[in-house]
């Protein structure tokens, strides 16, 4: 966006968006420009009704503050969610985002931090709402294809949001086969599968973003269960200890259990290997435990194979009644707090147990 437009200049951005939509009304079926506050935690009606199959673009601008005094805030890619009618919630993958309506109904929007949901239909603990900041959002329902509409609208755009969305769509790559975004964290574009220049692998490129993808499994959890994987970490998103909220930027692989707990294995910048701690983020602190399996920078830029005895790790760090099954493997990347970059590749992911290997993939 034009450098003179600052993150909280909502009036200027909204005026530009309104003029742009009016100038290209012939390619737009319906639209709205609205201010989406962070303060009340309510789903907001857009006034736009969708039909199944219609193509929609959301263009957003602004910042939502977790702690303004510490300069910790999130952009739309981490907090803008939508819902059609009473259907399931979904998050944008970036400040500009396009999608096809999977059902008909009124379109609702909300600002809410990823992860802190009570169910897949948008219920949440009121204590978890963002209290400060706002997003300016343009909702556009296209007459025909979104690509044609964006091309026509680009001639009238003074915000650079249209060009941003055109570029994002051109660079978009499919999710790795068998994986999908964890519903409570929402869509992400940071993971993709790469099959050239070495072993087949999942690449992760996390820049001031956060995402979790899940590979569903159903595996008995026994004393012989091991998680095995190889990773090639190029850059860590934090240079300081990751066990505090304001520095909780990290790369990890995790196993999810049938009791709602998950155990994540992270590469820390400086915490000693085998350090464990509950996630410092709200809601996650009751569900997620981290174990440091590698620390520092000396092993960066080379492939490392890891093997973890999951049951003994669980008993040592989580404790209590042991779950009976593993129901998912996750890849996790966070860098929203310090707004840094994490770069990592994964391959040869598998769960090993007495019944044999469960291949998660991809594999060399």
**Contacts of residue 183, Cβ cutoff 8 Å, sequence gap at least 6:** 88, 89, 120
pTM for the model stands at 0.92
- Tell me the pairing of strands 262-268 and 288-295: parallel
Q: Distances from the Cα of 266 to the Cαs of 28, 135, 163, 271, 306, in angstroms? A: 46, 32, 36, 10, 11
Mind listing the pLDDT tens digit for each residue in 68-87?
888 888 899 999 999 999 99
The sign of the CA dihedral 288, 293, 295, 298 is negative
Burial-class residue 3 by CB neighbours within 10 Å (0-12, 13-18, 19+). Answer: exposed
Residues of the chain with pLDDT under 50: 1-5
Structure tokens at 50: 């969708």
DSSP 115-149: T--SSTTS---GGGS--EEEEEEEEEEESS-HHHH
Helix (H) or strand (E) holding 35: strand 28-37
Q: Which residue segments constitute the domains of the chain, with CATH numbers given?
A: 10-171 (2.60.120.430), 180-359 (2.60.120)
In Å, how far are 61, 114, 276, 324 from 30, measured between CA atoms?
20, 28, 51, 50
Q: How far is residue 359's CA from residue 364's CA, in Å, rounded to a whole number?
A: 12
pLDDT tens-digit map of 269-302:
999 999 999 999 988 999 999 999 999 999 999 9
Helix (H) or strand (E) holding 243: none
Residue 1: the pLDDT is 36
Supply the pLDDT for residue 234.
Answer: 98
Cα pseudo-dihedral 268, 274, 276, 281, rounded to 10: 10
What secondary structure letter does DSSP report for 175? P
């Amino acid at each position: 966006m034009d450098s003179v437009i600052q993150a909280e200049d909502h009036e200027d951005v909204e005026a530009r968006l309104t003029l742009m939509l009016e100038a290209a009304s012939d390619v737009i079926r319906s639209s709205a420009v609205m201010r989406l506050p962070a303060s009340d935690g309510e789903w907001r009606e857009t006034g736009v009704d969708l039909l199944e199959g219609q193509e929609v673009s959301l263009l957003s601008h602004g910042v939502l503050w977790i702690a303004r005094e510490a300069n910790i805030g999130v952009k739309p890619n981490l907090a803008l969610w939508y819902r059609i009618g009473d259907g399931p919630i979904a998050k944008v993958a970036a400040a500009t985002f396009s999608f096809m309506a999977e059902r008909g109904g009124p379109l609702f929007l909300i600002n809410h931090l990823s992860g802190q949901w009570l169910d897949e239909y948008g219920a949440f603990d009121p204590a978890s709402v963002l209290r400060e900041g706002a997003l300016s959002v343009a909702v556009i329902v296209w007459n025909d294809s979104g690509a044609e509409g964006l091309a026509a609208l680009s001639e009238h755009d003074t915000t650079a949001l249209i060009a941003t969305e055109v570029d994002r769509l051109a660079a978009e790559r499919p999710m790795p086969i068998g994986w999908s975004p964890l519903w409570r964290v929402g869509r992400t574009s940071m993971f993709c599968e790469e099959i050239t220049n070495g072993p087949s692998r999942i690449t992760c490129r996390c820049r001031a973003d956060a995402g979790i993808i899940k590979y569903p499994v159903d595996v008995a959890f026994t004393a012989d269960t091991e998680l095995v994987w190889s990773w090639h970490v190029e850059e860590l998103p934090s240079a300081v200890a990751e066990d505090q909220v304001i520095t909780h930027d990290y790369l990890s692989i995790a196993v999810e259990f049938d009791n709602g707990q998950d155990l994540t294995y992270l590469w820390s910048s400086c915490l000693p290997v085998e350090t464990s701690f509950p996630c410092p983020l709200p809601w996650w602190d009751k569900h997620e435990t981290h174990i440091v399996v590698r620390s520092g920078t000396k092993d960066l830029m080379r492939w490392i194979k890891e093997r973890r005895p999951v049951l003994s790790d669980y008993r040592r760090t989580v404790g209590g009644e042991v779950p009976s099954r593993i129901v998912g493997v996750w890849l996790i990347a966070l860098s929203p707090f310090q707004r840094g970059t994490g770069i990592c590749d994964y391959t040869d992911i598998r769960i090993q147990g007495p019944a044999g290997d469960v291949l998660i993939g991809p594999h060399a």
